[in-house]
Amino acid sequence: MKVIIVGAGEVGFHIASHLTLENKDVVVIDNNPEATRRISDNLDVQIVMGSGSSPVVLEEAGIQQAEIILAVTNSDETNLVACLVANILSPSTKKLARLRDADFDEYHRNFREHAPHIDTIINPEIEVVKTIYRMMSVPGAVDVGEFADGRIKFVGVNLEDESRLSGVQLSDLPDIIGKARPLIAAVVREDELIIPRGNDRLEPGDLVYFISEEDKLLDTLSLFNKYDQPVNRALIIGGGRIGLRLASLLEENSIYCKIIEQNPDRCAYLAERLNKAIVLHGDGSDQGLLAEENIQDMDIVITLTKDEETNILASLLAKRMGARNSITRISKFSYFPLMNAIGLEQVVSPRLSAINTILQHIRKGKVLSAISIKGEQAELIEAVALETSEIVAKPLSKISFPKGAMVAGIVRKENIIIPTGDSVIEPDDRVIIFARREAIPKIEKILAVKLEYF
């Protein structure tokens, strides 16, 4: 598969990194020498200097041979034009554009239906707001993903000393919690992702990823000493586009909300567009202001400024002053491993949200969704099994999956199955597959050929 990426920023860099590790043919286009130098120094990809909206540059990049073009620059206009020109030069190439401006929100469907030069529109700001809201809804969750229209949850939680599962060997779980146990898909220990086996133990400090049915989620979380804590009062620090989107969503769900924004003109803009949220002018990292606004009464503080150092400081300060929880926006992926060490467990990134959305459209086969976890060390992929699949009609224990991959869930019409070795996949089942990065090419081959996905 040949993929052209227009834009060598953080999203372009990490998508290129992800795809090169899967031995895909990647070409990156950008006119910024520093950005392209970073990619050429770290990745084995072809670099084309120039504008991704130029037909000459696209032809030099080999647009006619590309299966997919991803336009992910920081300019919505450049992304739109790049897809338009790509469609003229190579109509069969699948085109994805990142559009962040809220002015385009109401027109996404129109673009997909009436603009043949765009197959998919990605708005990372919409996706990151959904991620934040899911985190707010799942107590103690560090990471939350959804499959089967939200009926299956993929949740990551930190295992604490007092948890009843601390020190437990996985093979002993049935004796401790019965048959209705969660499927533990992965454990992250000291920044290493582990696919656990029956003789592995859960240790304090582990980040444990599990699969659960939605109606059993609270019971499953209680096993990890995470209990339902409804969010009634929220403080948002940073009133940019993401802050406005989140505040509007919280208003819709009757959650009391305050926003602190430093720009007075932006404060006026926010006040005009929000009905119930209280807009405050000030510095969200000002201890005096936080005390004045009774930070200790807040169920959650979400820091969403464009400056990640400010977000980190404000989150730490808010928790120290008594806020129950915090969610911190981070842009630099290099910061992610540090967050848990300094006490910030819940972290979101618009760029990571964009990458997750892009992955599901890159994957071969009829992939319904894909979630990248733990610095892209692994993915969860949701796809549909057809009658011709070799994994249909026989127990999972009899199927040879690549090392580092497992079936984590099966959705059969209205029924949700957390699989065991005796589970059998039937035609038209939606199958959720967990795979380490090195196993993904083999999974893709299975999805595209053996399973005959569209």
Residue ranges of domains in the chain, CATH in brackets = 2-122 (3.40.50.720), 140-223 (3.30.70.1450), 233-348 (3.40.50.720), 363-450 (3.30.70.1450)
Using left for φ > 0, alpha for ψ between -120 and 50, and beta otherwise, residue 223 falls in alpha
pLDDT at 243: 95
**Is residue 86 very low, low, confident or very high in pLDDT (cuts 50, 70, 90)?**
very high
pLDDT at 179: 62
pLDDT at 453: 38
pLDDT at 223: 84
Handedness of CA 336, 10, 210, 198 (dihedral sign): negative
Q: Which region among 142-151, 205-214, 385-394, 433-442 has the lowest average model confidence (pLDDT)? A: 385-394
CB atoms within 10 A of CB 156: 22
Contact 127, 100 (CB under 8 A): no
C-alpha angle 128-318-209 in degrees, rounded to nearest 5: 45
Compute the distance between CA of residue 183 and CA of residue 178 in angstroms, rounded to an integer: 13
Contact 378, 431 (CB under 8 A): no
Mean pLDDT of the chain: 86
Q: Which region among 232-236, 300-304, 356-360 has the lowest average model confidence (pLDDT)? A: 356-360
Mean pLDDT of 331-351: 81
Compute the distance between CA of residue 348 and CA of residue 100 in angstroms, rounded to an integer: 17
CA distances 273 to 149, 292, 368, Å, are 30, 25, 34
What are the structure tokens assigned to 359, written together?
Answer: 């992955």
CB atoms within 10 A of CB 180: 11
pLDDT at 205 over 70: yes
Mean pLDDT of 391-400: 82
pLDDT at 65: 94
Mean pLDDT of 328-343: 81
pLDDT at 360 over 90: no
pLDDT at 364: 60
Which residue has better confidence, 148 or 258?
A: 258
Mean pLDDT of 353-371: 73
Give residue 36's Cα distance to chain centre.
25
